[in-house]
Chain A
Amino acid sequence: MKPEYKIISDLIEKDAKVLDVGCDDGTLMEFLKTNKNANIRGIEISKEKVQICIAKGLTVIEGNAEFDLKQFPNDSFEYVVLGQTLQAFINPETVIRELLRVGNKAIVTIPNFGHWKVRLNLLFKGTMPITNSLPHDWYNTPNIHMCTIKDFVRFSKIINFKIFKSLALINENVSDINNSNLIFKNLFGELGIFLIEK
């Protein structure tokens, strides 16, 4: 289980109605079902992963978040979770708007491209960074819109959504991000976790 699942779970109230966008093999869904008694649904693009979810008894729709969120009415869910996939969308702005339309709140996690290892990788090697969390080459990566924690904070101001809570994951430890430590967290955070609202 990914270390951020526990953190995501802590952000969600008990019995909440939750949509996991890009739910993968349903590990987070199961975790939220067990720990938060969440009424949880998932969308997943991969047929194989959908099959795994069905085998776990999870309610999952095969689909593409970029096109298939449309079918949900406004405020269908209390929380919509988007785990480490914002960077893979053609239009992240549309996706964020859709998340906040479909859900009252959204939890978005991003692999931080501002992490010092990524920066050093580019600085010294002079090639596109390849790290544990970003294992692809530039030509085959699904991650076409990488951003940093700082970028995401700026993004919130540009497209006008509220960041309710922002957390950084550093060596499996979680800490708050605020204005005064943003530069530091943006350098050491492997992952940014944001609870956002319209």
Chain B
Amino acid sequence: MRPLELFRRLAPKSIAGRLALGSAFLVIAALIVTSISTGIVLSRFIRDQIDQRLDTQIGAVTSALTNAPSLPDRLTLNDPPPFDRPAGGWYWMATVDGHTYRSASLDGGDITNRGSDHWWGGWHDGPPDANARPRPFNGVGPRGEPLYLRIQVVPMNGTWITITSSAPAHALVRPLRDALAPVILAMLALGVLLAFASVLQLRLGLRPLKRVTKGLEDVRAGRASHIDGNQPRELSGLVEELNSLIKQNAEGIKRARGHVSNLGHALNTPLAALSLSLAASRNSRDGERLKLVAEMQERIRHHLGRARGAALNGPAHISTAIRPRILDLNVVLSKINAERGLNVSIDVPEELAVACEPQDLDEMLGNMLDNAFKWAASAISISGRNDGTQISIEVADDGPGISAEKIQDVLQAGKKLDESVVGHGFGLSITRELAELYGGDLDLGNASLGGLKAVIRLPGSVAPGGTKP
């Protein structure tokens, strides 16, 4: 497996996760590099300070020895602090021709050179150089305390003086530790802050994506016709493409419905002419042919209804308020049935809306109302309510009703309850098929008015100014 492939497999699946992982990696790397480089700079600075002190002391001892007319027995210098404190680790020692001079702080002890573990330390091979600067070593003091040494060998009257000055080893480490601790703490705090900032940035940065997702959801649920085009530049292309896809889809559906409608027109008009000429004929066999024409008509209606439904592409992209459609249909049917003086009561709240194409809702409700108007003796009641998950609309009449056995027949496509009333039953089967395409259903039963009660349930949607069920 190549490393890139491994990364791909192990990397989080979310963009946020990927970005968070990436920024965490960078922040940690940056913190480590910063901490190490700060440490190096600091330790060099501290060592330079100590070197300077020790070298000054070496210089003082050297000049005291070289300026003396002859080698003194004892060398008493006015040691500056901290060389004046006994046993503090700040010592100096000079040896020449087996004679050893010591700082007062050494209290008669010796500094032991343990050689150098510094890469820059160690003696040169060959004779010491008269102008060489002091060199660093590690050593221990008279009490075994670890020391940092600077040693210089200087020529004097044909012999060499070896001058060693020392500082306690912790003098190098402690200030570094003291200085680095707050730096590292600050770095950690910075890291945490950066992590927060990057999470916040991710949230903010990815919010438009969430908005687009929500917009797409709204389109699918029928609450919007398109995604808001006012998006960050990076997303505007995607949103534009999505919107044209949505538009294309809607146009495709519209075109398909247009074709279906034209097909209906193209088939029904000659069929009408045929049925009229058969009806006018006196040939006795034409009665049967007329029946065939009627059967063809029903089949065409049935399959065109299905084709219309098939033109639906998944859930509807639209929200249709129910009440206006019912009022319109009621105007139509009341006008057609004006003479019968039917009493129609409509109890449908304004805010009820379904996620259906208006034409399909018209088709479903139209067939239900048509059936009720056809059979009602005097009264029709239309009511709608929100079931919580779906909207249900009930159409009841006080007509003869349908027996339980026959209810199934009514819902079977094309079966008529009463051959003498054109289209009876057929409409309800179309209603049921359409309702099922939308994920709803149609139930028939006995109404308290005495006749048939048809209840259709459809997926709810948000009407303008309403709330989603």
Q: Do A and B come from one complex?
A: no
